[in-house]
Amino acid sequence: AGMGDLVLTCTGGLSRNRHVGVELGKGKTLAEILDGMSQVAEGVRTAKSAWHLAQREGVDMPITDQVYRMIYEDKPARRALADLMSRRLKHERTG
């Protein structure tokens, strides 16, 4: 778990979460992607939970926000990336 999961998700051809991301990037909807999968991509539900938690706690999580919008609001990946990269620079909060 942890670092190994991150590396596999980013580089592994067998990663279900990576598969979802690649297909979203190609313009498919979440429903189209999930219809073609026989196993669960845990990151889909995790993104929703993380987004709701951030909203509830008032924590700015721009990457999570854009991932949520791509998955649950059908935001095009190119638009999400452009919005993420065009954010104003600011100091980030830490613990």
pLDDT for position 94 = 63
Regarding the domain delimited by 3-85, which CATH topology (the fold level of the hierarchy) does it fall under? N-(1-d-carboxylethyl)-l-norvaline Dehydrogenase; domain 2 (1.10.1040)
Two structure tokens written together for 11: 């580089």
54/91 Cα distance (integer angstroms): 18
Q: Tell me which amino acid residue 82 is.
A: A
Q: Tell me which amino acid residue 16 is.
A: R
Phi, psi dihedrals of residue 47, rounded to the nearest 5°: -60, -40
Each of the 95 residues of the chain gets a pLDDT tens digit; together they read 678 878 888 888 888 999 999 999 999 999 999 999 999 998 999 999 999 999 999 999 999 999 999 999 999 999 999 999 999 988 876 65
What does the domain layout of the chain look like in residue ranges?
A: 3-85
33/22 Cα distance (integer angstroms): 10
